[in-house]
Structures are given as structure tokens and as C-alpha cells.
A = this chain, B = another copy of it.
Amino acid sequence: MVDVSDKPATARRAVAEALVVMDQETLTLIIDGHATKGDVLAVAELAGIMGAKRTAELIPLCHPIALTDIGVEITPDRKASALRITAHAATTGPTGVEMEALTAASIAALTAYDMLKSADRGISIEGLRLVEKRGGKSGVWERTEDREGSRPPTARPVRRTRPTGRGT
């Protein structure tokens, strides 16, 4: 573990992303709300948030961090035949939150797989990676070049409106 005892506490933020690539028919199940295990997007987003809080338990050399923010957003992407996951994490502390953002995206993606696997066992998780990182000695880092050439970071998902009301 890197000793961060003498590093100052600064505001830090990180964003990660992942794609859950599936058949068009499976994507239709989600969009139409017909996935048999329930609301895939809501459950996966929540699992991602909760997973991020366990990062230091899962990743051996990660420091325990008092996260001040975690968020996960998942949007169906017809063109990519995938769910597009974006996760962000923030803290004020001596070390960064890249692993928290990546863990959130990863657990959200695995949860989506779990809820869809009876329909499409061949789903794969692709492009799980850091998008940007702010704060700390190294300052801002942004993904500038796309290694695969297929998922330009400018195509960031916009916040969807989620209907949450349910009658009594």
C-alpha cells in the first residue's frame, strides 16, 4: 500500500465507464420493462453505488476513503446494442477515487448481467476504464485518445428522466 500519511487532503473526483454489450432483443426487454428479474437499470445503478463503498475491502492495496459522492447512470444505447454505464466518485482526502469509480461501474455491469443472464448468457462487458480524474498532485487527467477507436468519450450519456411514482 502506498503510504499517504504525508499527502494533503484535496478535493478529488473520478469518472469511469463501461459497456454491457448484448443482443438487440435483450436490450428491447430492458427498454420495454419486460426483464423477468425486475428493473435492470435501477437495480444495477444502486448496486454500483453500494459496490463503490466496498472498494477498499475488494481491492487489496486501496485505502479506505470517506466518499463524499458516488453516482451511477445507465442508459440503453441502441446503436452500440449495449447499456452504457457512467460512474463518478468524489472525496476530499489524500488519495484518489479512480478505483471507486471503476468498481461502481464494474459492479453495476455485473448486476445488469445477473438480471439478464437467463435471457442472454453471452452478454459481455467491454471498455471498463477511467474517463477522467481530477485533484491531487497529478491534477487533471482525461482520456484523450480512444484505444479501441469505437467509443469516443465525447458521446457522454445525458441524464435520463426516471419516473418513480407508483400508485397505492
**Are A111 and B59 touching (Cβ within 8 A)?**
yes
**Are B60 and A46 touching (Cβ within 8 A)?**
yes
Residues of B within 8 A of A63 (CB): 66-68
Q: Among the listed B58, B69, B123, which residue makes an inter-chain contact with A129, where contact means beta carbons less than 8 Å apart? A: B123
- Tell whether A106 is near chain B: CB-to-CB under 8 Å: yes
**Are B62 and A64 touching (Cβ within 8 A)?**
no
**Are A3 and B68 touching (Cβ within 8 A)?**
yes
What are 14 A-B interface contacts by the 8 Å CB criterion? A1-B70, A21-B147, A32-B165, A46-B46, A58-B110, A61-B111, A65-B66, A66-B93, A78-B168, A103-B110, A122-B130, A122-B145, A126-B127, A126-B128
**Are B11 and A5 touching (Cβ within 8 A)?**
yes
Chain A residues close to B by CB (< 8 Å): 1-5, 7, 11, 13, 18, 21, 30-35, 37-43, 46-47, 49-51, 53-54, 56-71, 75-78, 90-94, 98-99, 102-103, 106-107, 109-111, 113-115, 117, 121-130, 133, 141, 143, 145, 147-148, 160, 162-168
